[in-house]
Structure 1
Amino acid sequence: MLIDDQETIYPYHEQITYVPKRDCQKKFNLYLLYPNRSKNLSSNYSIRIDIFNKIILAYWASWHLTIPFQFLPVNRIATQLFIPTNTQEQFDSSCKLSCGKHGRCMRYVNKNFSYFCQCDQGYSGRQCNIQHSCSCSSDSFCLTSSICLCSMKKFGRNCHLTRSVCQSLNNSCENNGLCIPIDDRINLNDFTCLCKENFYGKRCENQIEDGIYIELNEEMIQQVSIVFIHYIKAFDHSEHQHITEIKKIKYGENTIQIHVKPQFHILFIELLKNDYYLIIKQETIQKLNQIQMKLTPDQQCVSIHELMNSTLKSYNYLHRIKYYPHLCRQYKELMCFYDETYMCICDLDRFSNCFTFNHSLTYDCQGHNYCENNGQCFQDNPKCPVEALCVCSDCYYGLRCQFTTKGFVLSLDYILSYHIKPNRSFSQQPIIIKMSIAITTIMFILGLINGIMSILTFHMKKTRDVGCGYYLLVSSWISICLIIMLIIKFWQLILSQMVILTNRSFININCILLDVSIKILIAFNDWLDTCVSIERAMNVSTGVRFNKHKSKQISKWVILSILIVTILTHLHDPIHRQLIDDIDIDEKRIWCIVQYSSSSINTWNSFITFVHFLMPFLINLLSIIFIIISLARSRSNLQTRLPFIDHLRSQLKQHKSHLIASCVFILLALIRLILSFTSGCMKSPNNSWLFLIAYFISFLPSMMTFIVYILPSKIYKKEFNASVQQKVGRLRTLF
């Protein structure tokens, strides 16, 4: 578009449909006319190029080209456009332009500190404050009153004309290929098909049947996550054709599957920078059936510097090349070798066939790295990149390495999501998923048994003659709620990642409410156990002056207060929690992510986690120690014939179960804290077993109410037996 210094867009413009796979490096000759034959010399004109996503008509990016000689009637401008992979790169929150309610400030791609207002539909002007009428069709984008951007199926000045070439009834592209019409100014009935993986042809009518399955050993898997596949097609009188494809190794797998698309004579794979392996060499192009092989060190291409002695290395490059033919004869097991310019293959006659080979693959996508958090960006082709992939550093994951496990504080989503294989049955899932199903099932059964038996005990009136009974009754109900929530959370995660559960609203509600509810109930239950210990310590301290009636009244207010405080301290979690879709190769995952907006909230979350994890058990242990020492001292004062140490031993023996339980709970809390904070992050998805065990440990205190409080107490055990007999008697009368 031609614009002036007031950002006015003039009606005369040019539109092209650019398909990266089809049009890369293609030169377009476009012509723009000034608005009047006698050009307005008081205005400074320039060129603005906008790019939109043709499929959804969403704005992508803009370029600004200055016209160098404004006084000339004709100018010729040449430029090369590098299309950014991320639309957010151009949005700058620090921009000072006032774009009003109907625009947003954007940065030109080719100018770091040059901004403009990108207006919404129906608005234009420097500040997007001029409203204009649109005559475009409803399914198009109205850029100005005279410029319409048509959808894929429409064309014409106002996008009212319908294309028939890409209508679904015509079945232009088969096998779910994307049909893109050719520019109507060139051909109204022609189209291009962008085929899905494993299909090719004019209409994507052919399926790729050739497949190469390459198995990598454990050492290779630990070193790389991306493999470059180099296809070389040889020509006698011209430069060899070099096509590169990127394959990302799926987590938990050691085999890469190559669907052969282009014709080739030589096939290499590259694991690390300049770490090549020769897979296939053939003099004539043949149809390949299913090939399975295991990658071995014998297939590795060796650097020329490892083959030549110091004398040959000292020669200049042209002098050194003369000795290349001897290397294949000198090293009988050698399959290939390379230098800075060439790749050489040893043929059956042990002769070196060399050809130029581009070794210039970089880790920053030619300076346009869209990977976040220092992720390495790889492209399949430096000139016409079709595919780009990110290799994330430790603690980061996602398609663009945009998610982190730093400070994640044990979440089932972070631990298991990468292990769950989408679109596979349960029998095909990894061992960690099968074991997790078994563990959660056992925990569910044991948790229900513990909760039911505890409720049967503490619903009896005699067990609630003091506040402890109320604390333990509420704790019993919480243990059942927790184990039910765990099983819901676990199966929701499994089924959603396996793409069995697809209800977005249900998954979103679970994401926002379920995790935080589990955190709140775990903390609430731990603090209730602490209240039991504190009340027992107060009972020992006050002795006969202990008021049972007042204890029951206080316990009800304490329970309510702890619940409110626990909820309030966790409110930041659901506010910053959201569902995010992430497509990694052909695996689509839905992440339930917590992303805190500031470091202060992150610090607050760490502090609250520390308090709720450790403080209840620490207070519990101190209370038990206080009870033991106080009782030993009072017994020592009454029975002076025995020394204090004997009384202390007696009390330790009497309260041994509570003391051991408190120590175990503190140890479990410390394990969770150490894994959550000291380790820094979970190196997703590695070390998952350790973090999975720590996650399940969080539920153990709530599942041990019967063992810790009822079995050691004669009164509680007696009331439990009475309650069971009462229930059995009622059942007998019913049947």
Structure 2
Amino acid sequence: MTLRLTADDRLATYAIVSMLIDDDDERQEIHAYEESVYIPKESCSAKMNQYLLFPTRPKNVSKKYGVRTDIFEKNKLSYAGSWYFPIDFLFLPVNRLAVSIQISRHLSHTSSNCASDCQHGSCIKYSNRDKHFCRCFPGWSGVHCNISMNCELCFSGSICIGSSKNRSICICPVYKFGPRCIIDSLCPIDACQNNGRCVPSHMSASAKDYICICSDQFYGSKCQFSKSKVDVSLTDIKIPSYLIAYFLTLSNQSNPSNAIVIRKLTLFQQTVTFNITEPFHMMIAQANYKYYLAILQHSPKTFISTSISPAQECILSDLLFNSTILKMPQYTRFGAYYELCGKRHDLSCFVDESFFCLCTNDHHANCLKLIRYSNFQCSSKTYCENEAQCLQDHQVCPSTRICVCPKCFFGNRCQFYAKGLGSTLDEILGYEFKNKIPISRQPMTVQVSAIVTMIIFIIGTINGILSIMTFSRKNTQKVGCGLYLFASSITSLSTMILFTLKFWFLFLSHQDVLSERNQKLIINVNCMLIETLLKMVSHLDNWFNACVAIERTLSVYQRANFARSEMKRVAKRVIIVLPIFMGCLFIPQLLNLHVFEDKTEERSWCVVIYSPRLQMYTYTLLFFHYFAPLFINVMSATFIIIATTRQRALSKIDRSFWKHFKIKFKQYKHLVISPTIIVVLTSPYLIISIVLDCNKSSNLLWFYLVGYFLSFIPAASIFITFVLPSTLYRQEFWNIIISVRKRFYSSRLNRQKF
């Protein structure tokens, strides 16, 4: 069997085990196997030959044989996937298989198709066909993993995957080798520099005792050399999803050499960094299907910081020449190229399908062969997630493979979603924060947000404390409404505290005043705890207000039959059960919540592992917690006004129904005004939760900020909303003021006596 291997992870080390198995036997006996080691960094598109011998000669042509190839990542000793290749022509004296295997990071797929049949194993789908098998746990074998097997001969840190001819098949960790994984394979001390990973000789095709696998920033036999670093920033150019760089090296002895590197721009990235091994003289950048001359240098440098702008654009030849010239054979066009540079003194460069041409200072055309790929699409279909586009900078041996994410997706595979909890302050203001800069030197958006946050906090705290004082009195808790409003006062005060902590924790996460450990703690607390609790108490506040509306409606409907004591008992139960129920609703989001570290931008983002069901669940929850309490409040106010109007019209028939309605509307107008104010203040936040597109910058930034802060005004004004319009609650508040005054004067008189 000839295997051609490629892998997504170029820094990994893989164990490749091919086994000749008997598919007709319940024991699924392994007649022969061969193990090889594959290192993508050392040999990208490796080909290896493996020889597997049938158990008998001549072989039994009535049986059904196949080859199963299992692949394991040796550094973490993790299972990568399995491939199955049937042997169809057993009548031949020798069978030859030539197969290509693409090793992805997420190949192994557990399935439920055969889960009930796997007694001591897991049901796995083959990576190359729609077929399942039982992958047995160590110590078990057979089609259904029900046959006990002795794996004691394998080293305790290895993986036993089966046995052949009473001999265990052991997968060794990277620091062990041999048939039983008991021989140490250690590299010399400080064999590799700059965090390079040493691979012992038994896993390498090299003649040396070891090889070093270097990171992207270094190269050399011991990773002792730093690659050239190029930082490219974009000026007045729409930020693309990715940037392609063509590096050309000129030589008098040979044709120009051409290297292609592709880099992904993250959601909030401004500068792209390229690391190049070979010295180069020219760099051409491709962004948004346009070409720009980024660097032109005589002597190669190790570090370059540059930018590209529309002034450096190299225009496509299709836009410069007429159809007659474009239809000419390529070699006959060069006369037109030289003529173009002589006429267009404003032109510095242009590009056709095969050449890159510079217009020199003398207005001559200097054209170089430019190797471009017509298709950068990845061969692997499983590398990216969430319908992201996979691109690679080489068709066979890519140095970089990237995922171009849809809007609001993060991660190297686009596996994280930024709007998992609806709109948050992280998304709106996250990129406005400048790292390691005090608040006095932050942008105006951050400074204004800090001031508004503290104003809302002060007003909300005062309102919350005064409301708690009012609704904690016995006279206000004779019915359930008082208990609901007491609970609402507590959630409003909690909202103000969490709202303020959210902003300042977000600010501290961009400062360098704390240790790295405390910095990570703040980031995780802000994401996992504060954000979730802030959403939960905000929704709780809405529902407690809805409970007040429901009880008021019942009191009007039942009139004399309204049971105050029973409603009070119901209120106590609801106040206990509702937060628990609300917390349970947030569990699906909380389980998928993560902190994504954007190392390029040196920022952290609170994201969720995306799934369409979770997105649907999030939006359903958002609309339900917004519209359901609002609908209850509006319907309650409408019912109370109409019901009381009818009662008054029946008792006093000297006036028309509409005159009674106007009187009752004036009496209960606060029940209509409160929901209206809530709609006006919170609807912008609902809108931005849907339309916020996760762009780095937006013309609607101030609208997003205003909408976010307005959504907290109802919680910050609970005293104004519920205490001041009510005669009973307002009287109780004045009783508190009178009581405080009496205590103050009495204590003052007592001090004067002494």
In the superposition, the TM-score normalised over structure 2's length comes to 0.80
Q: CA deviation at 1:56?
A: 0.4
Segment drifting more, 142-151 vs 433-442: 433-442
Q: How does 1:452-463 map to 2 (within 5 A)?
A: 452-463=465-476
Segment drifting more, 335-344 vs 347-356: 347-356
Q: Taking structure 1 as reference, are residues 162 and 212 closer, same or farther at Cα in structure 2, changes over 3 Å only?
A: same
Q: How does 1:572-651 map to 2 (within 5 A)?
A: 572-575=585-588, 577-578=590-591, 579-580=593-594, 582=596, 586=600, 589=604, 591=606, 593=608, 602=616, 609-624=622-637
For residue 279 of structure 1, what is the aligned residue in structure 2? Answer: 294
Does structure 1 residue 14 correspond to structure 2 residue 35? Answer: yes
In structure 1, what is the Cα distance between the partners aligned to 2:434 and 2:141? 46
Correspondence for 1:87 among 93, 107, 130: 107
In structure 2, what is the Cα distance between the partners aligned to 1:141 and 1:417? 48
For residue 662 of structure 1, what is the aligned residue in structure 2? Answer: 675
Gaps (5+ residues) in structure 1? none
Report SS of the residue matched to 1:301.
Answer: strand
- AA at the equivalent of 1:119: C
Q: What per-residue deviation string (whole Å, max 9, x for no partner) do you get for residues 489-513 of structure 1?
A: 6666676798956799998898777
- The answer on whether the counterparts of 2:403 and 2:413 sit within 8 Å (CA) in structure 1 is yes
Segment drifting more, 634-643 vs 705-714: 634-643
Does structure 1 residue 412 correspond to structure 2 residue 424? Answer: yes
Q: CA deviation at 1:588?
A: 7.9
- AA at the equivalent of 2:315: V
- AA at the equivalent of 2:493: I
Q: CA deviation at 1:724?
A: 4.0
Correspondence for 1:248 among 242, 264, 277: 264
Correspondence for 1:375 among 385, 388, 394: 388
Q: CA deviation at 1:557?
A: 1.4
Q: Taking structure 1 as reference, are residues 611 and 518 closer, same or farther at Cα in structure 2, changes over 3 Å only?
A: same
In structure 1, what is the Cα distance between the partners aligned to 2:371 and 2:198? 33
Does structure 1 residue 228 correspond to structure 2 residue 244? Answer: yes
For residue 574 of structure 2, what is the aligned residue in structure 1? Answer: 561
Correspondence for 2:138 among 110, 121, 141: 121
For residue 544 of structure 2, what is the aligned residue in structure 1? Answer: 528
- AA at the equivalent of 1:25: S
For residue 390 of structure 1, what is the aligned residue in structure 2? Answer: 403
% identical equivalent positions: 30
Q: How does 1:261-340 map to 2 (within 5 A)?
A: 261-273=277-289, 275-283=290-298, 285-291=299-305, 293-321=306-334, 323-340=336-353
- The answer on whether the counterparts of 1:121 and 1:142 sit within 8 Å (CA) in structure 2 is yes
Q: What per-residue deviation string (whole Å, max 9, x for no partner) do you get for residues 175-211 of structure 1?
A: 3222222336866863333333543333233445x54
Q: Taking structure 1 as reference, are residues 142 and 465 closer, same or farther at Cα in structure 2, changes over 3 Å only?
A: closer
Correspondence for 1:57 among 77, 90, 95: 77
Q: CA deviation at 1:357?
A: 2.7
Q: CA deviation at 1:92?
A: 5.2
Q: What per-residue deviation string (whole Å, max 9, x for no partner) do you get for residues 318-348 of structure 1?
A: 4335543433333323333222223333344
Q: Taking structure 1 as reference, are residues 280 and 593 closer, same or farther at Cα in structure 2, changes over 3 Å only?
A: closer
- AA at the equivalent of 1:394: K
Report SS of the residue matched to 2:102.
Answer: coil
Q: CA deviation at 1:37?
A: 7.9
In structure 1, what is the Cα distance between the partners aligned to 2:505 and 2:184? 44
In structure 1, what is the Cα distance between the partners aligned to 2:446 and 2:412? 23
For residue 194 of structure 1, what is the aligned residue in structure 2? Answer: 213
Q: What per-residue deviation string (whole Å, max 9, x for no partner) do you get for residues 563-596 of structure 1?
A: 5356436634304532446565646857453767
- The answer on whether the counterparts of 2:264 and 2:404 sit within 8 Å (CA) in structure 1 is no
For residue 718 of structure 2, what is the aligned residue in structure 1? Answer: 705
How many residue pairs match? The answer is: 713
Q: CA deviation at 1:484?
A: 3.4
Q: CA deviation at 1:363?
A: 5.4
Q: How does 1:69-108 map to 2 (within 5 A)?
A: 70-71=90-91, 73-74=93-94, 77-88=97-108, 90-91=109-110, 98-108=117-127
Report SS of the residue matched to 2:42.
Answer: helix
Report SS of the residue matched to 1:138.
Answer: coil
Q: Taking structure 1 as reference, are residues 395 and 281 closer, same or farther at Cα in structure 2, changes over 3 Å only?
A: closer
Gaps (5+ residues) in structure 2? 1-17
- AA at the equivalent of 2:261: E
For residue 8 of structure 2, what is the aligned residue in structure 1? Answer: none
Does structure 1 residue 216 correspond to structure 2 residue 238? Answer: no
Q: CA deviation at 1:361?
A: 5.0
- AA at the equivalent of 2:301: K
- AA at the equivalent of 2:224: E
- The answer on whether the counterparts of 1:181 and 1:192 sit within 8 Å (CA) in structure 2 is yes
- AA at the equivalent of 2:176: K
Q: Taking structure 1 as reference, are residues 609 and 303 closer, same or farther at Cα in structure 2, changes over 3 Å only?
A: closer
For residue 204 of structure 1, what is the aligned residue in structure 2? Answer: 223
- The answer on whether the counterparts of 2:20 and 2:68 sit within 8 Å (CA) in structure 1 is yes
Q: CA deviation at 1:560?
A: 2.0
- The answer on whether the counterparts of 2:428 and 2:704 sit within 8 Å (CA) in structure 1 is no
Q: CA deviation at 1:227?
A: 1.0
Report SS of the residue matched to 1:277.
Answer: strand
Q: Taking structure 1 as reference, are residues 634 and 362 closer, same or farther at Cα in structure 2, changes over 3 Å only?
A: same
Q: Which has the higher strand share?
A: 2
Report SS of the residue matched to 1:15.
Answer: strand
Q: Taking structure 1 as reference, are residues 115 and 552 closer, same or farther at Cα in structure 2, changes over 3 Å only?
A: closer
Report SS of the residue matched to 1:136.
Answer: coil
